[in-house]
């Protein structure tokens, strides 16, 4: 999000979309990790 804040126009929108996609990916991975019994300490 820092890169998005420093950008403007279309570039800013691309960075915001990339950040939102990254957040969504981490949300999708969290339940799968819990099912496998993987914790943050094990990484």
At 38 the pLDDT is 64
Q: What is the pLDDT of residues 1-43, one digit of tens each?
A: 677 778 889 999 998 899 899 999 999 887 766 677 766 555 5
At 30 the pLDDT is 73
Distance CA 42, CA 20 (A): 26
CB 43 within 8 A of CB 26: no
At 40 the pLDDT is 59
**Assessment of whether the complete model's pTM goes beyond 0.75:** no
- Read off the DSSP letter of residue 29: H
CB 30 within 8 A of CB 23: no
Q: Count of CB atoms within 10 A of residue 27's CB?
A: 9
The 10 Å CB-count burial string (b at 16+, else e) for 10-25 is eeeeebeeeeeeeeee
At 43 the pLDDT is 52
């Amino acid at each position: 999000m820092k890169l998005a804040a420093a950008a403007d126009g279309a570039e800013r929108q691309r960075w915001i979309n990339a950040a939102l996609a990254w957040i969504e990916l981490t949300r999708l991975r969290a339940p799968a990790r819990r099912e496998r019994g993987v914790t943050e300490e094990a990484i």
